[in-house]
Structure 1
Amino acid sequence: MSLHIGVGLPTTGRGPGFAELGDVRAHAVLADELGLESVWAADHLIPVVPIIDSTIALAAAAGATSRVKLGFSVMVIAMRPLAWAAKQIGSLQHVSGGRVLLGVGSGGVPHGTAGWEAAGVPFAERGARTDAALAALPGLLAGEATVLPHEPGRPKATLTPSAAVPPILVGGNGKVALRRALEYGDGWFPSAIAPRTLARQVARLREEAAEKGRPAPVVTVGVPAVLGGGRAEREAVAAAVAQGYGVPPEEAREIPVSGDAREAAEQLAAYAEAGAERAVLMTDRPDWTRHFERMAEVNALLNG
């Protein structure tokens, strides 16, 4: 059983200063050298923690690497002017040699409304704007004359050079995300979800895809990881998941990946059995280098 393994880049801090952010280039290089499939950058404007812009972080990673794929986890596309977002995505495709994985989400409640207010976008419109952006984005990237959503009366926009449309992975755990994945996406990208819940949702996704006569979206899952950590660390992460994602505590305990490489591989195998084809391991441990090395050990056990 195989499962692509991606890792989160250290683009978010846990305190008031950027000194707590990691070296994006160094960690992208290490992930590339260790044979991990992809690196991922979180995205927001004014979240509850310091954050580096995802497009800049991934461009830095692209310039420092040659193989590893570059993922948005996930781009809050409705917060941006769509033409600019498409220009950034297409440009990243060009400079990286077509390595982009485009996770897209509508922006969650936990980060509040400050970013939306700063961007001048009504928070209440984020869902409709996400749908409209996903509908128009492929044409913009392909260099086609495209009507921009929420811009009535303006001429169509044509961006050059054109770029290959990257795989679009729709983020979110609920019904709306599943609907968007079926309507606009190549994949579905839930996070902090237990394998048993994922299995039910994947079965539903595949059933609805068959009813619509289209291929089932590929499933990527974001999983918090404390590799090398013991029971106490796993419980702490599970408690944070329960609080941050509203997951019942007993289910949240199934989610974090921990222990040695073999134990972690067994836990991730449950996600593969549930229908995931990729797992993005997320961590805020200070020992990034050793953690990436442990992830490579897990990758070898699952895919070697």
Structure 2
Amino acid sequence: MHVGVHLPSFGVDETAGVAEHARLAESAGLESVWVGDHLRAVKPFLDSTLVLATAAAVTSRVKVGFGVMVLALRPVAWAAKQVASLQHLSGDRVLLGVGTGGEPHGDVAWRAVGVPFAERGRRTDAALELLPGLVEGKPTVIDGVEIALTPGATMPPVLIAGGGPAMLRRVARHGDECYPAFSTPGQIAELSARLAELAAEHGRPVPRITVSVSIGLGGVTEAELGAQVRGLTGYGLTEAEARASLVTGTPAQAAEHFAELAAAGAHRIIGMPFPKNRLRQTELLAEATRLI
């Protein structure tokens, strides 16, 4: 079982920045640090590639993950250049989560870059076809033009996020891992069985499963719980589902929940802290990891 933690978005933690959080995650023994990818969101976000480059620069072991890169917002050649550069700068520590971009943030960012919101799925599929060759520096044809990017780099593991048939189709064709969010052990077990079927159909290895969970360990106020539940309902969860998806209580209780997810088929868990004491949440998450 691997456990990682999301880095705070801009302004969420006024006591520490990206470097401090990344160093703590590494020293505490966590496997990876992650960052979301938004041009425009409901709260301020720094550019994901620069955040991960900063995290990589102040650490030597911890992996740096996109949670997730919205490929369709970028020309695929630029996305490949960013990924390859980050691989070189980090020493091949990149974990490439990929998503299509969800409904909650609206279509303003898409209109700003001239990409129709309705085409994000098709464009993501097209980018996933071309990305490995571009990252590795192989001659690749884009819109009738052949280009080879240098320096090439090792293609990182690809984690496909989302839900429903579209996600499963992408995982079957392009993914090394499936990356569902806010899933219960029962849902993970069902997903694991379905992925095994799809892998057999496509003659590919069975993709692993990485799961994101909202964590609020130690003492969490009802106001913080309520705010997080309201935020999750914006992603399509009912209030009951949102509350059930939260991991709260002691590190020992969190370890029990993580063990259930592992038994259901998850091989990595990414904690997304929601209380204000973000550094303390990382410490408690690391304690839960040691108890698994």
TM-score range, shorter chain: over 0.9
2:78 is the alignment partner of 1:88: no
**Aligned CA distance change for structure 1 residues 128 and 144 (closer, same or farther; 3 Å):** same
Residue equivalent to 1:173 = 163
Q: Verify the 8 A CA contact 2:209 2:268 in the aligned structure 1.
A: yes
Which residue in the other structure is 1:9 paired with? 7
Q: 1:104 aligns with which of 92, 95, 98?
A: 98
The answer to whether the Cα contact below 8 Å between 1:103 and 1:168 also exists between their aligned partners in 2 is yes
After superposition, the C-alpha distances for 1:212-263 in whole angstroms (9 at most, x for unaligned) are 2211111101110001145846852673365122223433332111111100
Q: Deviation digits for residues 6-47 of structure 1, max 9, x if unmatched?
A: 000012456xxxx85950111000101111000001001011
Q: Please, which of 259, 262, 268 is the counterpart of residue 249 of structure 2?
A: 259
Greater mean alpha carbon deviation, residues 196-205 or residues 160-169? 196-205
Question: TM-score, normalised to structure 2's length?
Answer: 0.95
Give the Cα–Cα distance (whole angstroms) in 1 for the partners of residues 38 and 150 of structure 2: 26
- 1:60-139 to structure 2, matched below 5 A, reads 60-139=54-133
Residue 161 of structure 1, aligned match among 151, 159, 171: 151
Match of 1:30 in 2: 24
1:216 aligns with 2:206: yes
Separation of aligned partners in 2, 1:65 and 1:127: 34
Taking the aligned partners of 1:25 and 1:235, their CA distance within structure 2 comes to 27
- Structure-2 separation of matches of 1:234 and 1:180: 35
Q: Per the alignment, in what secondary structure is the counterpart of residue 65 of structure 2? A: strand
Partner of 2:180: 190
**Shift of residue 142 of structure 1?**
1.2
Q: Does the 8 Å contact 1:170/1:188 carry over to 2?
A: yes
Distance 1:241 1:251 in 2: 12
Task: State the alpha-carbon separation in 1 of the partners of residues 82 and 278 from structure 2.
Answer: 28
Q: 2:224, 2:275 within 8 Å by CA — same for their partners in 1?
A: no
Conserved in 2, the CA contact under 8 Å of 1:237 and 1:256?
Answer: no
2:272 corresponds to 1:274: no
Aligned amino acid, residue 136 of structure 2: A
CA contact (8 A) 1:11 1:57 kept: no
Return 5+ residue gaps in structure 2 as ranges: none
Is 2:241 aligned against 1:247? no
Aligned-residue sequence identity (percent) comes to 51
Counterpart code for 2:171:
A
SS at match of 1:193: coil
Moved more, 276-285 or 201-210: 201-210
Normalising by structure 1, we get a TM-score of 0.91
Secondary structure, aligned partner of 1:101? strand
Alignment partner of 1:207 out of 197, 203, 215: 197
For structure 1, the 5+ residue unaligned runs are none
With 236-245 and 122-131 compared, the bigger mean Cα shift is at 236-245
Matched, 1:286 2:276: yes
Offset at residue 98 of structure 1 (A): 0.2
What amino acid is the match of 1:177?
M
SS at match of 1:74: strand
> Residues of 2 paired with 1:36 and 1:114: CA distance?
35
CA offsets 1:131-184 (integer angstroms, 9 cap, x no match): 000000000011111112xx3x4x211101110000000011222111101100
Number of residue equivalences: 292
Shift of the 22–115 alpha-carbon distance from structure 1 to 2, 3 Å rule, reads: farther
User: For 1:141 and 1:282, how far apart are their aligned partners in 2?
Assistant: 29
**Is contact 2:233–2:242 with CA below 8 Å preserved after alignment?**
no
- The RMSD of aligned alpha carbons is 1.8
Cα distance change, pair 231–197 in 1 and its aligned pair in 2 (3 A): farther
